[in-house]
């Protein structure tokens, strides 16, 4: 932990730790407002240096065999597991996640590296039956080239490894740009990449101004691919900016997940599932249940049991092992949550538990909150809250649940609780969401596709699909005469 408290961290470009001469950005602990460390405020010049390095390294990295690249990734996987505790402590200090969740995230992050270390060996080409006896038709696979990965603060390890794992396995080199709110986990991850022995320039880390770094990336035609997790608003800007060079894009954007509890649900299981989904990372997760629709037959029973469970969740500094709900990331995050609750109450909803910020040790905490009798007119049912607030709306039929669930431009995750196979299947088939948890509040895993429909993104990360985004198909027609 001494390292975490050390004042200044560096960027990593072409095998060198650099950035001492630059001004720095503060990283503060949202649980108490204290300074955790500083990182260099890099911009266009440093990004260009990183692109130069990644472009040069690409020439040799892309020529290694899949088995050689897999060897580096396996070493990194092992190092992530060996350094799990230190990474988790850094994460909790810089962005407030309860320590047990941080440990879980490091294991989750490592699982992407392990998965893609293997998937890289399964990038198969094709031989296609020919229409002419003198031709052979083949599809060869090539890495897309230099990749830039721009990641959010809420999963500072896993969002990076979900991108770097497939990129590196496919033969791409990478420039990582972590969020300014939680870059120290990325610095530690970079240290582990160095220890794993990746050749210079294969993995680079740039910290600093998002607009300047993204601007330099967008201008440079050597960067062939952007992979981004963040808001839909920023995703749309990246789509526009990438148009000039037709850069490849993978986008994992905002969510506004509906969670449906039908009359035949196992209510205790539903309560457990909603707690897992809604309160993970204090509700600051793209796939968190954001609006809860409960059928009339189990509404009262669900609200009562759920509120009881929520009251048990301890709020506080995530370094305390018994804490379940840490702080929000910053004051703006807290203000948004407060506004969603106030708007719902002003329009007639009832707070069952919570409902207020908690002033504690200079941190930005909000009490885990249950609001009942909400309706679609309330902001909390229209926008992603990104906080520990569970709004519950009573619905009459499964058709109404489907209609309300789909009434959004977002399509990342949805949840259904029903013990009836036919009913559950019918409902899920009509939901326009890329991920569905059926009687499951925690569907994420390395081996499955993660991504959204509609304005929630483009492409899928994880699973066997996750590597496709880093590969180009090259069709080769071979004349044999
Ligand atoms: C996210 O919030 O985007 C990540 C959540 C997950 O991978 O489960």
In the chain, where the domains are located: 11-253+456-478, 257-445
Residue 275: which residues within 8 A CB-CB, separation 6 or more? Answer: 306, 309, 310, 313, 441
Q: What is the pLDDT of residues 182-199, one digit of tens each?
A: 999 999 999 999 999 999
For ligand 1, atom 1: residue with the closest CA: 286
Quote the pLDDT of residue 3. Answer: 45
Q: What is the pLDDT of residues 108-124, one digit of tens each?
A: 999 999 999 999 999 99
Q: Does domain 11-253+456-478 have CATH number 3.40.640.10?
A: no
Residue 161: CB within 6 Å of ligand 1? no
In this predicted structure, the answer to whether residue 4 has a pLDDT above a threshold of 70 is no
Cα(93) to ligand 1 centroid in Å equals 19
Q: Give Cα 285 distance to the centre of its chain.
A: 7
Q: What angle do CA 216, 219, 223 make, to 5 degrees?
A: 85
Q: Can you tell me whether residue 339 is helix, strand or coil? A: helix
What span, in angstroms and rounded, lies between the C-alpha atoms of 240 and 357? 38
- Whether 172 is catalytic: no
Quote the pLDDT of residue 481. Answer: 83
Residue 1's pLDDT band (boundaries 50, 70, 90)? very low
In this predicted structure, the answer to whether residue 476 has a pLDDT above a threshold of 70 is yes
Quote the pLDDT of residue 2. Answer: 44
Are the C-beta atoms of residues 275 and 242 closer than 8 Å to each other? no
- Domains 11-253+456-478 and 257-445 are alike in CATH topology: no
- Whether 193 is catalytic: no
Percent pLDDT > 70 in the chain is 99
- Average pLDDT over the chain, rounded to an integer: 97
Q: What is the pLDDT of residues 416-459, one digit of tens each?
A: 999 999 999 999 999 999 999 999 999 999 999 999 999 999 99
What is the average per-residue pLDDT within 201-213?
Answer: 97
Quote the pLDDT of residue 360. Answer: 82
Are the C-beta atoms of residues 232 and 255 closer than 8 Å to each other? no
Quote the pLDDT of residue 7. Answer: 66
Cα(22) to ligand 1 centroid in Å equals 32
Q: What is the pLDDT of residues 330-363, one digit of tens each?
A: 999 999 999 999 999 999 999 999 999 998 889 9
Which of 46, 94, 252, 461 is the catalytic position? Answer: 252
Ligand 1 pocket test: which of 95, 106, 109, 155 has the largest number of ligand atoms within 8 Å of its C-beta? Answer: 155
Which of 172, 193, 286, 288 is the catalytic position? Answer: 286
What is the average per-residue pLDDT within 199-223?
Answer: 98
For ligand 1, atom 7: residue with the closest CA: 444
In this predicted structure, the answer to whether residue 77 has a pLDDT above a threshold of 80 is yes
Residue 43: which residues within 8 A CB-CB, separation 6 or more? Answer: 208, 209, 212, 213, 216
In this predicted structure, the answer to whether residue 329 has a pLDDT above a threshold of 90 is yes
Of the CATH numbers 3.20.20.70, 3.40.50.150, 3.40.309.10, 1.10.150.120, which one belongs to the domain with range 257-445?
Answer: 3.40.309.10
Are the C-beta atoms of residues 347 and 391 closer than 8 Å to each other? no
In this predicted structure, the answer to whether residue 6 has a pLDDT above a threshold of 70 is no
Residue 287: CB within 6 Å of ligand 1? yes
Q: How many residues in total does the chain contain? A: 481
- Provide the β-strand partners of residue 372: 350
Q: Which atom of ligand 1 is nearest to the CA of 450?
A: 7
Residue 469's pLDDT band (boundaries 50, 70, 90)? very high
Q: What angle do CA 112, 117, 120 make, to 5 degrees?
A: 115
Cα(378) to ligand 1 centroid in Å equals 25
In this predicted structure, the answer to whether residue 242 has a pLDDT above a threshold of 70 is yes
Residue 444: CB within 6 Å of ligand 1? yes
Ligand 1 pocket test: which of 105, 111, 153, 154 has the largest number of ligand atoms within 8 Å of its C-beta? Answer: 154
Quote the pLDDT of residue 150. Answer: 98
Cα(445) to ligand 1 centroid in Å equals 10
Residue 229: CB within 6 Å of ligand 1? yes
Cα(154) to ligand 1 centroid in Å equals 8
């Amino acid at each position: 932990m001494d390292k975490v408290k050390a004042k200044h961290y560096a960027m990593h470009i072409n095998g060198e730790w650099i950035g001492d001469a630059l001004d720095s950005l503060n990283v503060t602990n949202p649980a108490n407002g204290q300074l955790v460390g500083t990182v260099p405020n890099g911009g266009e010049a440093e990004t260009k240096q990183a692109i130069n390095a990644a472009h040069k390294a690409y020439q040799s990295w892309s020529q290694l065999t899949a088995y050689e690249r897999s060897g580096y990734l396996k070493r990194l996987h092992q190092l992530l597991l060996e350094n799990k505790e230190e990474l988790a402590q850094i994460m909790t200090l810089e962005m407030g996640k309860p320590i047990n969740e941080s440990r879980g995230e490091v294991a989750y992050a490592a699982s992407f590296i392990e998965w893609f270390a293997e998937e890289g060996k399964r990038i198969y080409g094709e031989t296609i039956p020919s229409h002419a006896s003198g031709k052979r038709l083949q599809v060869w696979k090539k890495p897309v080239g230099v990749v830039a990965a721009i990641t959010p603060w809420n999963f500072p390890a896993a969002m990076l490894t979900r991108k770097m794992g497939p990129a590196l396995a496919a033969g791409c080199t990478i420039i990582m740009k972590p969020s300014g709110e939680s870059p120290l986990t990325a610095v530690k991850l970079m240290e582990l990449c160095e220890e794993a022995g990746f050749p210079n320039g294969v993995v680079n880390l740039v910290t600093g101004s998002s607009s300047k770094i993204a601007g330099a990336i967008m201008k440079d035609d050597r960067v062939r691919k952007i992979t981004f997790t963040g808001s839909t608003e920023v995703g749309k800007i990246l789509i526009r900016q990438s148009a000039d060079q037709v850069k490849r894009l993978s986008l994992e954007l905002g969510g506004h997940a509906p969670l449906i509890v039908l009359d035949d649900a196992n209510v205790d299981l539903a309560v457990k599932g909603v707690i897992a989904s809604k309160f993970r990372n204090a509700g600051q997760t793209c796939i968190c249940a954001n609006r809860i629709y409960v059928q009339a037959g189990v509404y009262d029973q669900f609200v009562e049991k759920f509120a009881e469970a929520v009251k048990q969740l301890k709020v506080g500094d995530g370094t305390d092992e018994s804490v379940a709900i840490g702080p929000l990331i910053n004051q703006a995050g807290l203000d948004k949550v407060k506004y969603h609750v106030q708007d719902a109450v002003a329009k007639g909803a009832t707070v069952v538990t919570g409902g207020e910020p908690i002033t504690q040790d200079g941190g930005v905490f909000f009490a885990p909150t249950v609001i009942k009798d909400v309706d679609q007119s309330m902001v909390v049912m229209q926008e992603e809250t990104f906080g520990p607030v569970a709004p519950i709306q009573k619905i009459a039929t499964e058709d109404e649940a489907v209609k309300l669930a789909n009434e959004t431009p977002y399509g990342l995750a949805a949840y259904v609780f029903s013990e009836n196979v036919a009913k559950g299947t019918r409902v899920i088939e009509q939901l326009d969401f890329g991920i569905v948890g059926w009687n499951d509040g925690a569907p994420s895993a390395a081996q499955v596709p993660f991504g959204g429909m509609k304005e929630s993104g483009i492409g899928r990360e994880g699973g066997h699909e996750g590597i496709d985004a880093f590969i180009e198909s090259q069709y080769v027609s071979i004349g044999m005469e």
